[in-house]
Chain A
Amino acid sequence: MPVVNIRLEKLSKLIGKELTAEEAAQHLAAAGLGIEETTENEIKVEYNPNRPDYSSIHGIARTLKGILGKQRGLPRFKLRNPKIIVNVDPSVQGVRPYIVCGVVRNLSLTEEDLEELIAMQEDLHWILGRNRKKVAIGLHNLDVLTPPFVYRAVKPEELQFIPLKSSTKMTPKQILEEHEIGRKYAHLLESYDRYPMILDARGNVLSMPPIINASLTELTSGVRNIFIDVTGTDWEKINQTLNILMTSMIDSGGSGEAVIVRYQRKRYLTPLMKNEYLTLKSSLVNELLGLNLSDKAIIDLLRMMRFDATPSRKGMLKITVPPYRTDIMHPVDLVEEVAIAYGYSRMELELPKARIFGSVRRTTIIQEIIREIMIGLGFTEVLNILLTNEDEQYRMMNVNEHPHIRVLNPATREYTMMRTWLIPSLLRNLADNQQHLYPQRLFEIGDVIVPDPTQPEKARRRLSLAAVSCHADASFSEMKGIAEELFRLLGLNIIFTPTAHTSFIDGRVAELCVRDSPIGIMGEVSPSVLESFDLPMPTTAFEVDVEQALQYRLEKD
């Protein structure tokens, strides 16, 4: 989850109230922010990605002002009349079709403010921009530029400019191939033969979205006037992004100014900064929260959360949603706002009314009974995970691969598939425990995953039981006695049929059968398998398909 650093001094100034770190942390947590770290002057908080407006201290301060009663209802953001035009050339149509822009003047940004602004930009790139694919942001020093600007696509080697983090002029093609940041984002443009570019009236490059800005417009701490471009493939998301940036920068003391963005057929005054309107039934609030709030109380609580709310008719409220709240999709989202403002900790807890009796599944009962038997037979339970790899499941076991479920792109290299049998992980457990006292007798009861084309999910879980006995005198006969007792207690008549299995010693391996149907395997593990697990101790093992075995039992009943 994204994280934002909150300087306490700045927060107090923005809210207009001195807060200690402890007080601030308490209010932030109540607003739904996760406190990661608190120092005397700074609080590091985690915010949920449904609230991109929390990517800056200004967005967070806005909510806190409401909660602390410093300012309620819809925040106002003044926009001055446009002075700058951005022309959108049709050439961007097939590449990165949309652009919206804004201007903020008369800022006075310190080095720290600037750092926060860059951090906010990065968070927005990730949350709304899907790592710049859908949305890319450019912030520029307006004072070095000459409007009007044009947004058009250029050929790979049509022009040259000095990008950020470089000292020489480069063509767009060179940037994608040679520049560190260019190479990182080159995949976003790889299928195009033209690259989007924002240029000023004198042909100066502002930006090559979504890759990199020109070094010319780089922001430094003295900068006063900023031009913002937001380009992308998703009209709604670029507008949300611009709204969040503009509201935050206006809250930081700048004066906002609209920009005329002229497309071929239509022109927009951006940022759009449109409020949205929703109707909320107060009964929905009370039903979902189990509270009994009056319309007026609900209005007050929503105003704390910086919405405007007015009664339309009895039990119906008209809610105005500010432009930076991209997360409000349905009236239930407003119910949560009421709950947060009311305070989760203030709500009296109660229990649901339904009278239903509890029960566990058949598989839980079966597993418990088998556990009892195996423990009674002196076997210690182990619990392995289902993720494993072909090497352990097959190659080390000296068997050919069976059909199995593979996973794509695992972050941990040894997880490439789901286990199809349990014995391999039990042998690994034994190998890992050689420093401990023998005899070692282990069992596991759990699922394996088998491909099954008849299922909608093309696979199914199958309950398996495996046991290993490992000590200097481990033998087939010891394990046979154990298996016989297990199955006797399960009410099954088990028959040991000679078979061939390359994981086990030839002539010391049996197929376990119930009524002529194989349900498992048992044998002395072959020395070559023991060697591949690096386990120099005689080991016997068995594994059975529990569901299949018990099916016979049920039929018999």
Chain B
Amino acid sequence: MATQCNQQLSLHWLEKLVLLALNELNRPAIYEELAQKAVELVNRAQTALSRESFTTTARKPSAIAKACGWLQQKQLIEQYEHGETTRIISLGREGLRYASEGLPERRLVNFLIERGGEATVDEVSSAVNDYTIALNWAKRNGWIAFDKKNSETYVRIVSEPPSMTVAEELLQRLMLEDTIPMDSLPEEMKNIVEQMITRQDVIRIVEKRERRVGLTSKGKELASQLAAVKLEDILSEITQLTPEILKTGKWRHLTLSKYDITAAVPPVFAAKRHPLVELIRLVKQVYVEMGFEEIQGPIVELAFWNFDALFQPQDHPAREMQDTFYVDLEEKGEIPREYVDEVKKVHENGGRTGSKGWRYNWSEDEARRLVLRTHTTATTIRHLAEVKKPPIKVFSVDRIYRNEKVDWKHLAEFHQIEGIVMEKGANFRQLMGIIKEFYSRLGLREVRFRPSYFPYTEPSAEVEVFLGGKWLELGGMGVFRPETTAPFGVKYPVLAWGLGLERLAMAIYGVEDIRTFSRNDLAWLRRTSPLTPYRVAGRI
């Protein structure tokens, strides 16, 4: 019972009218019949509201058809095609125009009345649109006659037409009702239809297989319940609350219809951060929690800082054009004079570090070349050279570049999570400890380390994190070699690491193709929840 009640209340007033019309007809009917019946019902009702506001809609078979669609979905009616066909009339293109502008012959007569009953054909032709049609039909109707005076042809009213002809009445009805079944028209009007069909696209007739609407048993039950309610109560129900209804206090006499609150609605999308930016925000937060200070450095970088300062020999494969983006600029960069000699010595023979060095001739020119930095460690060593004084704990999460072919696993431009700690007594166990702490704050508690190699760190390690059922290689780390720190006057051990952001992001967001992060597919951006990284981190 309760569900039935709800269903009844969730009906639109037009749906209710259709049910009542069917109830009263007590037989299956076509839309046009239902429209006529609905109008009749409204006109019978006592209502505080203007009847017109209902009849303008209810008299349109197209609106009735829509309501029938809704009712069918609710299984209150069924619709079926009847074997017989009906002739349905509707307005053509010209008919639509005539219905709003008036028939040409009517406009002609009006013009002539304005002119005192007559005018020359020339005057008519310039004042009345469609004047040839107008003259033709006014003559046929016997409203006008032609006279010749002083070699000019005059048009004169001979019999004033009724204020509304049957043809005009038909146009008006069609304007209001959209479609009318030919059979429902009075005989007189049927004749007019036959006449108007000869005029250019004023009226259209289509043969339609009849669609009949009948009540289902559920519908019947509901319709009889509705019939017991006063129609004005049904009609006083409204769907939309308006400022006008509120201001005038009309709401006191109205009922607001209940909605089907389970119905689907058009989607709405929240604007938000890019998912990678969201993750960067969390990573930065973790760094700050751990007491790190953010640094930033150039993207177009001197080979000196990117490679030489980090003890990468000038013939190192990573420095080759197929791995590194070199800048196409005739002018070379300027390298910091105060460090050139020390860096040169360290490369050539180890300088005062006790190292053998790389044993080749170091070229200043090579160090002055400009590259798109291949790691943010370039920024780190700059910072160390500038500050020197312990303790230092700094980080950056920023863009780096590799001259690689882009595919689902590789990008030419991506982000590195960089960090260093420099203090007296800093050691390798602390380096592993800090990385473990970092990842555990992102919710990744299973971390392992294995030996690795970088030209500027010793000992070096690779860090792997267990996520999504497998071990992921996420980055490299190590203690800076003396050949890296000594030329810049850094006296204590520097613990350094560079971790991949995108690979971490792939695991966190469950993304298979690394290019997703720069593709900006709106479906993905809209779908991805900002909660994800925080949930993985166990922070919410």
Residues on A lying within 8 angstroms of B by beta carbon are 29-32, 34, 48-51, 130, 236, 287-291, 329-333, 335-336, 339-340, 344-345, 347-361, 363-364, 368, 371, 374-387, 405-412, 415, 418, 429, 432-433, 436-437, 440-442, 447, 449, 451, 453, 455-461
14 residue pairs bridging A and B, Cβ less than 8 Å apart: A50-B453, A50-B455, A336-B460, A344-B451, A353-B425, A356-B391, A380-B271, A383-B518, A386-B413, A405-B328, A412-B412, A415-B412, A440-B522, A459-B298
Partner of A330, one of B335, B458, B459: B458
Cross-chain contact B302 with A347 (CB below 8 angstroms): no
Q: Report if B497 contacts A (CB, 8 A).
A: no
Q: Report if B405 contacts A (CB, 8 A).
A: yes
Q: Smallest CB–CB gap between A120 and chain B, Å?
A: 18
CA distance A345 to B290 in the complex (A): 23
10 more A-B residue pairs beyond the given contacts A386-B399, A411-B403, A433-B521, with a C-beta to C-beta distance below 8 A: A29-B450, A30-B450, A289-B428, A332-B481, A336-B451, A358-B292, A382-B274, A387-B413, A408-B321, A411-B405
In the complex, what residues of A have CB within 8 A of residue B269's CB? 380, 437
Q: For residue A425, which residue of chain B has the nearest CB?
A: B520
Cross-chain contact A385 with B429 (CB below 8 angstroms): no
Residues on B lying within 8 angstroms of A by beta carbon are 267, 269, 271-274, 276-277, 281, 284, 287-296, 298-302, 315, 317, 321-322, 325-329, 331, 333-336, 350, 353-357, 359, 370, 372, 390-391, 393, 399, 401, 403-406, 411-413, 421, 423, 425-430, 432-434, 436-437, 448-453, 455, 458-462, 473, 479, 481-483, 493, 495, 517-523, 525-526
In the complex, what residues of A have CB within 8 A of residue B525's CB? 380-382
Cross-chain contact B372 with A407 (CB below 8 angstroms): yes
Q: For residue A286, which residue of chain B has the nearest CB?
A: B427
CA distance A527 to B202 in the complex (A): 40
CA distance A459 to B452 in the complex (A): 34
Cross-chain contact A330 with B483 (CB below 8 angstroms): yes
Partner of A339, one of B322, B459, B517: B459
Partner of B427, one of A30, A289, A377: A289
Cross-chain contact B451 with A49 (CB below 8 angstroms): no
Partner of A458, one of B291, B357, B359, B370: B370
CA distance A375 to B322 in the complex (A): 40
CA distance A356 to B326 in the complex (A): 37
Partner of B520, one of A236, A383, A406, A415: A383
Cross-chain contact B523 with A436 (CB below 8 angstroms): yes
Known: A360-B284, A415-B412, A453-B331. A289 touches B403 (CB 8 A): no
Cross-chain contact B284 with A364 (CB below 8 angstroms): yes
Cross-chain contact B274 with A344 (CB below 8 angstroms): no
Cross-chain contact B412 with A387 (CB below 8 angstroms): yes
Q: Smallest CB–CB gap between B294 and chain A, Å?
A: 4
Cross-chain contact B481 with A407 (CB below 8 angstroms): no
Cross-chain contact B448 with A345 (CB below 8 angstroms): yes
Q: Which 5 A/B pairs are nearest by Cβ-Cβ distance?
A: A32-B451, A290-B427, A354-B391, A358-B288, A48-B453
Q: For residue B415, which residue of chain A has the nearest CB?
A: A383
Cross-chain contact B427 with A287 (CB below 8 angstroms): yes
Partner of B428, one of A288, A329, A330, A409: A288
Cross-chain contact A348 with B429 (CB below 8 angstroms): yes
Q: Smallest CB–CB gap between A336 and chain B, Å?
A: 4
Q: Smallest CB–CB gap between A322 and chain B, Å?
A: 16
CA distance A175 to B300 in the complex (A): 43
Cross-chain contact A356 with B293 (CB below 8 angstroms): yes
Cross-chain contact B331 with A330 (CB below 8 angstroms): no
Cross-chain contact B271 with A291 (CB below 8 angstroms): no
Cross-chain contact A447 with B299 (CB below 8 angstroms): yes
Q: Smallest CB–CB gap between B454 and chain A, Å?
A: 9
In the complex, what residues of A have CB within 8 A of residue B523's CB? 436
In the complex, what residues of B have CB within 8 A of residue A380's CB? 269, 271-272, 522, 525-526
Cross-chain contact B430 with A352 (CB below 8 angstroms): yes
Partner of A329, one of B331, B350, B460: B350
Partner of B459, one of A288, A357, A447, A458: A288
Cross-chain contact A353 with B520 (CB below 8 angstroms): no
CA distance A348 to B288 in the complex (A): 25
CA distance A336 to B480 in the complex (A): 12
CA distance A171 to B274 in the complex (A): 63
Cross-chain contact A344 with B461 (CB below 8 angstroms): yes
In the complex, what residues of B have CB within 8 A of residue A351's CB? 430, 433-434, 437
In the complex, what residues of A have CB within 8 A of residue B429's CB? 289-291, 347-350
In the complex, what residues of A have CB within 8 A of residue B404's CB? 411-412
Known: A330-B356, A409-B326. A352 touches B495 (CB 8 A): yes
CA distance A291 to B432 in the complex (A): 13
